[in-house]
Amino acid sequence: MQHVALLMVSLEGGGVQRSMLHLGRALADRGHRVDLLVYKAQGDFVDSVPSGIRVIALETASVWMGRLHTIRAAPEHLIHLAMPILLPLKSQGTLRCLPALVRYLREERPAVLFSADTYLNLVALWARRLAGVSVRTLISERIHLSSHLQYGAKRRKWRWRFIVPLIRRTYPEADRIIAVSLGVADDLRTLGGLPPELVTTVYNPVVDSELAKKAEASIDHPWFKPGAPPVIIAVGRLTEQKDFPTLLQAFAQVRAQRQARLLLLGEGRMRRELTALGHALGIAEDMSLLGFTSNPFAYMARAAVFVLSSTYEGLPGVLIQALACGCPVVSTNCPGGAAEILEDGRYGRLVPVGDPAAMAQAILSTLESPPDRGLLQKRASLFSVDRAVEQYLEVLFARN
């Protein structure tokens, strides 16, 4: 059995965290020793870590110590380190765990190190350099980087513009790079100038028997009483990337034509803005921001339509989860894996990004003529945990 270290930012509620926990559980169930290395051992999934997995909160060094280790790790890239890492007044926090990760690799000597975040990917590769140990290091890209540079990280956009040269010079050191969708893989090869054979696509582990059990759980919410208007649901962090304002505008158009309700599950910095927009659009009485829930599946299973309104994604696990719950879906045809999941619209309507009118029409059409739920669940089974884990095992323990 092998010793595997999974590296991620935190245990906050999110798709990356959920998929890494799925992978960790599957590895532990197969007898592997699993360490979960986190920059912050806090978040909504703290109590969801499977037994048998050791959680290690990497000690954070000072900003200057983190930067010094970065320079030591990649002195030949000093000019490219300057703008995204060395010069910003506010340091990228995950870089401060580089010294601790170096110590961990020297002391624990895992067989495999697998990371899941753009900055942590760099940290993982630099840590292996500094530790001077033999550890198979795999990194994964979970976002469509070109779109992230174009639309996302607005408050840190200038810093992200300078990350590409580091990706081009550092990512090739990985033993393998895993992309969560074909779209992400193609984008990464192009943007990073990476050898095609270095990048492998493995869909995230999403669907398992636990999801089905949770979908059957009862929920105490008045909107799901018999005879109530249909509920449209969305799940995700309340951030710019998810583009919930477009969804609210679309729902206002739906609500002008028929009775319906909108339920948002998730937390984030845009809560106040979305609440205000709901009042401005006159839909506040039929809209609810429920916050984070560890079991969104019970709501998905009872909703009339699930909507993904994102400007870009990597592989939107919530879209797969909705299909697994038998919930009809509407999604933006955003860069990333949405069209792959829905097979270009066969399993759910695709609409242009940022188009409330098209989204409203797709929602109305889906409410009027919903697809067969069994067909949706069959599609979701292609993204099962067992299927993904077998692919991960091949990649994690293969020898190049």
3-state DSSP assignment of residue 242: helix
pLDDT band at 26 (very low <50, low <70, confident <90, very high): confident
Nearest to 262 by CA among 303, 232, 291: 232
Distance of alpha carbon 53 from alpha carbon 117, whole angstroms: 20
Residue type, position 146, single letter: S
Q: What are the CA-CA distances from residue 369 to residues 73, 229, 302, 335, 347 (Å)?
A: 57, 16, 16, 27, 13
pTM > 0.85: yes
Residue type, position 90, single letter: K
Q: Find all residues with CB under 8 Å of 45, minimum gap 6, and list them.
A: 11, 12, 13, 17, 18, 21, 294
Biggest CA-to-CA distance, the chain: 67
Q: Which uninterrupted H or E stretch holds 234? A: strand 231-235
349 — phi, psi (to 5°)?
-75, 135
Distance of alpha carbon 79 from alpha carbon 368, whole angstroms: 58
Rg (CA), the chain: 21
Check residue 343 and give its pLDDT.
97
User: Strand 231-235 and strand 261-265: pairing?
Assistant: parallel
Residue type, position 135, single letter: V
User: Strand 349-351 and strand 329-332: pairing?
Assistant: parallel
Nearest to 348 by CA among 318, 377, 371, 326: 371
Tell which phi-psi region holds residue 7, choosing left (phi > 0), alpha (psi between -120 and 50) or beta. beta
Domains and CATH numbers, the chain: 3-205+384-396 (3.40.50.2000), 209-383 (3.40.50.2000)
Q: For residue 226, is pLDDT > 60? A: yes
Exposure string over 234-268, b if 16+ CB within 10 A, otherwise e: bbbbbebbbbbbbbbbbbbbbbeeeebbbbbbbbb
pLDDT in tens, 308-367: 999 999 999 999 999 999 999 999 999 999 999 999 999 999 999 999 999 999 999 999
pLDDT in tens, 156-200: 556 677 888 999 999 999 999 999 999 999 999 999 999 999 999
Average pLDDT, the chain: 92
Q: For residue 109, is pLDDT > 90? A: yes
Q: Which uninterrupted H or E stretch holds 105? A: helix 98-108
pLDDT band at 400 (very low <50, low <70, confident <90, very high): low
